Structure 1
């Protein structure tokens, strides 16, 4: 049976007579803290789940809980009979006000099966009450499709996933039936590890060796001088990028090596070209020179560097994209650009690669146009729709499209849930964290990367919140090795 993927967050309204299987289905497919159950609330405000006298109070509490959960943008599975049209519509209205998807799940279980299940219960629904519910259900199941839900579903295997995975099942099937190739790069964005400074060199070597064994095509490092706020704290250990790449050249044999990406303000551009050429020679022709506009103003101030206005940085980036190939070419001809003046471009030894690839980082229209004119690749963020939009700027250019994302991979749902519980910050709810790190199973990720490939991406770079998952990522990579 195909698994239904619901967008996170969403509201799921269960509807059906007693003993039709609602609570059992909800418990099988959703975490307990996502389910708001009228029976459990009856036990909370009354003498037990079968305390019918407490029903009114239980539903009053249920309405408050549902309203507050939806107001906070939390996935909410409403486990009641769902036979009250006014209540259903009020929950749907709350979901719409919160901008959340809302589906109804119709439990159209045959009447005799409901009665049979009821007879097997320790606490039976009174026969006349169940008969009334079954009678009402005939009307309710006709009303549900008219009430405006995003969908009215049959009870099937279901899971709430980050939005990027909602369509991934079909994409994964396409990859299985007609595989396409895709390159994979590992981005190292953190150097925090249990061994501390003394063990850093061995740790970096171990990660690189495992990445090659997993099938990665490249390893990239962030070009910063202290940790960025999106990843950690400024005082966490953070290695200088090009020095680290030189070490990685000695630790690896196959993967390409580059920055993702070097801020154009951080170094004299001619010096950057010399560094990249040296890496290419020492790595046996595996260097990639990533460059970008630079954005981290606080880092510039901390190190005493000027942080020019955007227009000036764009002028510097455009000159750099023209200067670097000149440096890597034969001879020593001068270069004069808009802002750069290099009288002598001598750079020997020249790179081993006849054409050392230049990758530009950034998704803005001006950056994309520069990449289309001068670069070999441009790295972007976002979902498949954002990628398709970026691809429009690269038509009739040689530039490839690459994609960077944080990616958490679990072998299955159970392991993925464990990883989310282990890694999420205390003050971030699991669904928000899962969305932030694109948390999905191997199958989910295969589908997501197939969608990115179909949008025009030729290489995906992934930053792993947990490097212990490298072996699991190997299962994703192998699906793109036709």
Structure 2
């Protein structure tokens, strides 16, 4: 089981906060540091000092870290034109020395689109756009150097693009697709995904969605084992109940709710909870949603007292 750190900076984080946690995660031995892609708080707080652009952040972190992998859960397909996004992701992959993982989703939060003036089409059109973005970006990266790339879709068109730059990773950065849609989401995963993620859902919901992805793979003649199964869950670990309670209070959550609907409790409880996830869903990777970015000791505790038990 692999544990990764996942942050939600739109709820309140400066770049310095993200850099500090990313470097702490790298130093503690975590294999990856991810962030969300939002332009406005999704909760009830003020979200100060305000949102930050996901790919600007990852570009900066790429130059300030050396080992840890970097990515998004999920880049919003509504925010950026895919031709430009192909350039951005390839460049950050180069800047990191080939450490980028590319999560792409249809976007869901209408309020942030209204607040920034970005169009928010109906769900069906958002999935049309997501599909074409995946086709366009993978085609762009796959075009040999020296050749040009054209794409004609209903939503997007490219004509004679030099399709540069290329990512550092060959043939491309890993692609992560996720969500709970029962038809189009599994079908897209079967076509494009190296990893499939379900975030902040319970075990039965995740297990059922993984089964849909497996079925979609079989329909395409693809081995489902080629796709890594992952989930994201809120994390709250303490050496004892009192410390769990303090960390839960800091993020405005109830410890009992976190134990039931997250990865929470003492290290022993958390290891047992992760075992339940693995047994019931076959999940291989868990993104630990770290909501209090001022609590660096939380990262150290997980690395020191949870990760070694999973390795054994």
Whether TM exceeds 0.5 here: the answer is: yes
Residue 117 (structure 2) pairs with residue 298 (structure 1):
no
Q: Structure 1's 274 and 317: CA in aligned 2 closer, same or farther, altered over 3 A?
A: same
1:431, 1:416 → 2: CA distance? 10
Matched, 1:470 2:299: yes
2:231 alignment counterpart: 403
Name the residue aligned to 2:196: 378
The change in CA–CA distance for 1:204 and 1:430 in structure 2 (over 3 A counts) is closer
Q: Deviations over 1:2-37 (max 9, x none)?
A: xxxxxxxxxxxxxxxxxxxxxxxxxxxxxxxxxxxx
Which residue, 179, 184, 208 being the options, matches 2:22? 208
| TM-superposition CA deviations, 1:343-369 (whole Å, max 9, x none) | 134232311111311111312112122
Provide, for residues 281-301 of structure 1, a one-character-per-residue CA deviation record: whole Å limited to 9, x for no partner: 010001111110111111111
Distance 1:480 1:345, change over 3 A: farther
CA contact (8 A) 2:10 2:41 kept: no
Residue of structure 1 equivalent to 2:243: 415
Q: 2:181 is matched with which residue?
A: 364
- Aligned counterpart, 1:388: 207
Residues 435-450 of structure 1 aligned to structure 2 (within 5 Å) = 435=260, 438-450=263-275
Tell me if 1:185 matches 2:29.
no
Compare 375-384 and 433-442 and name the one that shifted more. Answer: 433-442
8 A contact 1:321–1:375 mirrored in 2 = no
Q: Please name the residue that 1:453 is paired with.
A: 278
Unaligned runs of 5+ in 2: 215-222
Contact 1:191 1:239 in 2 (8 A): yes
Is the CA contact (8 Å cut-off) linking 2:91 and 2:167 kept in structure 1? yes
Match of 2:217 in 1: none
Q: Which stretch shows the higher mean deviation, 366-375 or 294-303? A: 366-375
Residue 439 (structure 1) shift: 2.6
The Cα of 1:371 is off from its aligned counterpart by 1.0
User: What number of residue pairs does the alignment pair up?
Assistant: 292
Gaps of 5+ in 1: 1-181
What SS does structure 2 have at the residue aligned with 1:372?
helix
Larger radius of gyration: 1
Q: Tell me if structure 1 keeps the 8 A contact 2:15–2:57.
A: no
Aligned-pair CA distance for 1:192: 7.0
Moved more, 403-412 or 462-471: 462-471
- Corresponding residue for 1:316? 129
1:442, distance to aligned residue in structure 2 (A): 0.9
1:249 to 40, 47, 62: 62
The 3-state SS of whatever aligns with 1:343 is strand
Contact map agreement 1:402 1:460 (CA 8 A) in 2:
yes
Structure 1 residues 243 and 386: alpha-carbon distance in aligned structure 2, compared to 1, 3 A threshold = same
Q: Aligned partners of 2:117 and 2:181: how far apart in 1?
A: 27
4+ residue segments displaced more than 6 Å: none
Q: 1:448 to 1:252 in 2, by over 3 A?
A: same
Residues 441 and 269 of structure 1: is their aligned pair in 2 closer, same or farther, counting only changes over 3 Å?
same
Give the TM-score normalised by the residue count of structure 1: 0.57
**Distance in 2 separating the partners of 1:429 and 1:391:** 29
Cα offsets for 1:147-202 (capped at 9, x unmatched): xxxxxxxxxxxxxxxxxxxxxxxxxxxxxxxxxxx222211213777xx8xxx444
Q: Distance in 2 between matches of 1:410 and 1:429?
A: 14
**Residue pairs, 1:71-470, within 5 angstroms:** 182-190=1-9, 200-229=14-43, 232-233=45-46, 236-329=49-142, 330=144, 331-354=147-170, 355-365=172-182, 366-381=184-199, 382-395=201-214, 396-397=223-224, 398-420=226-248, 422-423=249-250, 425=252, 431-432=256-257, 435=260, 438-454=263-279, 455-466=281-292, 467-468=295-296, 469-470=298-299
- Report deviation, 1:476: 1.5
Alignment partner of 1:481 is 2:277: no
1:319 CA displacement: 1.1
2-side partners of 1:360 and 1:270: how far apart? Answer: 19
Greater relative contact order (Cα < 8 A, sep 6+)? 2
Distance 2:102 2:84 in 1: 12
Q: For residues 202-261 of structure 1, what are the alpha-carbon distances to aligned partners after superposition, in whole Å with 9 as ceiling and x for unaligned?
A: 43322111101222111111111122127x335542221100001111121111111111
